[in-house]
Amino acid sequence: MLYQSTRGNYHQVSAAEAIKTGMVPAGGLFVPSEIPDLDIQSIQGLSYADIAYQIFVKYLPEFSTEEVREMVSQVYTETVFSHPDIAPVVRLTDKLSVLELWHGPTAAFKDMALQILPHLMSLSLKKIQYDKEILILVATSGDTGKAALEGFKNIPGIRIVCLYPYQKVSKIQELQMTTTDGQNTFVIAMKGNFDDCQAKVKEIFSDVSFQQELLSQNIELSSANSINWGRLLPQIVYYYHAYAQLAEKKQINWGDKINITVPTGNFGNILAAWYAGRMGLPINKLICASNINNILTDFINTGKYDKHREFIETTSPSMDILVSSNLERFIYEMTGRDDHFINEIMTQLQEADFFQLDSKNLEKMQEELYGDYATEEETLQMIKDCFEQHRYLLDTHTAVGMKVYEKYVSMSKDTETVTILDATANPYKFNTTVLEALKGSDAVAGKNEFEILQDLSQYSGMAIHPGLKDLDQKEVKHTMVTETDQLKDLIRKIVKK
Ligand SMILES: *Cc1c(COP(=O)(O)O)cnc(C)c1O
């Protein structure tokens, strides 16, 4: 199996090369040249690490089976994830179960992939006998940053620079990043919002002369954002594993179709579910949940992707996105791998801020996806309702997903299909909004996030996630702030260190 560009502008490369490089140098994303099958029946009785092994070997032909085995058994263990099932499925009703993806060290689902990506990357560098140092450049809306920093810290041959929107992440998210140790970690706050950060990173990745300049100092840029195939691959695993858990608990029979609801931002998580479906996971509908930055909802319902709109800051910041990078992969696959079409719409998006699918492709998309969104009010109400009904605490992103699932059921009348809802963050990560949703604004007035954590824990009875405790006691090690146009200079300085 080789990997090819969604824009047809690059030669086919090996898995190791695709993971090392991250994004196609001239723009475009790597996708596997074919999608392998994995029969759902064949994973009966397998552990998380076993399923990861089964999936990885299909996509990483040049890695030896021993290498893959060692990697998955090192990462998907109880010493890294604070739950024996790694990503447990928790039943709320007969028809709805929550897939908890936040048991990793940083309390967000990004850990599921970012704990293993550094291993994938190290091995990839070895495979291609790479002699340069890798500089990972990551844009984060809050959660990816810490997960990537934790994963890559002290990995030989790799430096990581993490870019977040200045004053636009929560105090806890900021402290998670700025207290990171490790000789090879750099954290930069950039003025602007997350889309500005992401755009800046993409610009640098397409800046051939800047890359040449770095190369002359023996450094190559790479990415740990979900534009890197090495991020998506590990996310396929938990969908198979979740299905197996449902079947083993007899909530479904082997072979039954399920729905999967995904609180969506960059379209990475839901795309992994789509790939799982193509490999053989029985899926009825993928439910794409957005907050009021509902560009994806509009796209799925009308076929028009129109980014000419206001960017709104919400209480689910990891979903505050106008350009969902991985949509490019989805449209590529859905149109039967039409790279001309991808070039056309990407140019149009750049020049006119929108593109439009024809009715045939729109119909195709709607067969697989349902798109809807939740308002801020609905999201907060959902946190309260869910806790009162099920004694189950949702974070803001998962609450958006739950609300959209509710809307899906009422629109489609599909009350029968068992549904998985991805819980993408631990509720304590967004403690202020969660406590306010439960107890009103007086409960949080005048308190700092650490007092709120304690109050929330007392009220809900749920233990505070180990990755979020005692952050206020740790030393802040990173204090860089930059304007957008000074980022490159800052990277030049970091490279010289
Ligand atoms: C990153 C993130 C998302 C969005 O995931 P995508 O793969 O970008 O769609 C949703 N919720 C949380 C908590 C996240 O950290």
What local confidence, expressed as pLDDT, does residue 359 receive? 96
For residue 379, the SS3 value is helix
Binned at pLDDT 50, 70 and 90, residue 222 comes out as: confident
Q: CA–CA separation, 225 vs 208, rounded Å?
A: 19
Domain extents in the chain: 85-107+230-429
Catalytically active residues are 110
371-407 pLDDT, tens digit per residue, is 999 999 999 999 999 999 999 999 999 999 999 999 9
What local confidence, expressed as pLDDT, does residue 412 receive? 98
Q: CA–CA separation, 460 vs 424, rounded Å?
A: 19
Label the pairing between strands 354-356 and 369-373: unpaired
- The CATH number corresponding to 85-107+230-429 among 3.40.50.1100, 3.40.50.10800, 1.10.275.10, 3.40.50.300 equals 3.40.50.1100
pTM, to two decimals: 0.94
Q: Probe ligand 1: pick from 232, 261, 319, 324, max atoms within 8 Å of CB?
A: 319
Q: CA–CA separation, 177 vs 145, rounded Å?
A: 7
Q: pLDDT at residue 311 above 80? A: yes
> Of 165-174, 191-200, 285-294, which one has max mean pLDDT?
285-294
What local confidence, expressed as pLDDT, does residue 223 receive? 83
| Paired tokens of 491 | 């990277």
User: Ligand 1 centroid vs 294 CA: distance in angstroms?
Assistant: 14
User: Ligand 1 centroid vs 268 CA: distance in angstroms?
Assistant: 8
54-99 pLDDT, tens digit per residue, is 999 999 999 999 999 999 999 999 999 999 999 999 999 999 999 9
What local confidence, expressed as pLDDT, does residue 109 receive? 95
Q: CA–CA separation, 89 vs 383, rounded Å?
A: 19
16-51 pLDDT, tens digit per residue, is 999 998 889 888 999 999 999 999 999 999 999 999
What local confidence, expressed as pLDDT, does residue 163 receive? 95
What local confidence, expressed as pLDDT, does residue 372 receive? 98
455-491 pLDDT, tens digit per residue, is 999 999 999 998 898 888 999 999 999 999 999 999 9
233-263 pLDDT, tens digit per residue, is 999 999 999 999 999 999 999 999 999 999 9
Q: Probe ligand 1: pick from 99, 117, 140, 269, max atoms within 8 Å of CB?
A: 269
Q: pLDDT at residue 5 above 80? A: yes
Q: Probe ligand 1: pick from 397, 433, 434, max atoms within 8 Å of CB?
A: 397
Q: CA–CA separation, 379 vs 290, rounded Å?
A: 11
Specify whether the CB–CB gap between 121 and 184 falls below 8 A. Answer: no
User: Ligand 1 centroid vs 407 CA: distance in angstroms?
Assistant: 20
What local confidence, expressed as pLDDT, does residue 446 receive? 95
329-378 pLDDT, tens digit per residue, is 999 999 999 999 999 999 999 999 999 999 999 999 999 999 999 999 99
What local confidence, expressed as pLDDT, does residue 379 receive? 98
Average pLDDT rounded to a whole number, residues 114-135: 92
- Which atom, in ligand 1's list, is nearest to the CA of 267? 9
Nearest CA to ligand 1 atom 2: 318
Residues 6+ apart with CB under 8 A from 1: 15, 32, 33, 34, 36, 58, 59, 61
What percentage of the chain reaches a pLDDT higher than 70? 100
Q: pLDDT at residue 195 above 90? A: no
User: Ligand 1 centroid vs 128 CA: distance in angstroms?
Assistant: 31
- Which atom, in ligand 1's list, is nearest to the CA of 266? 8
What local confidence, expressed as pLDDT, does residue 170 receive? 84
* Mean pLDDT, rounded, of the chain: 95
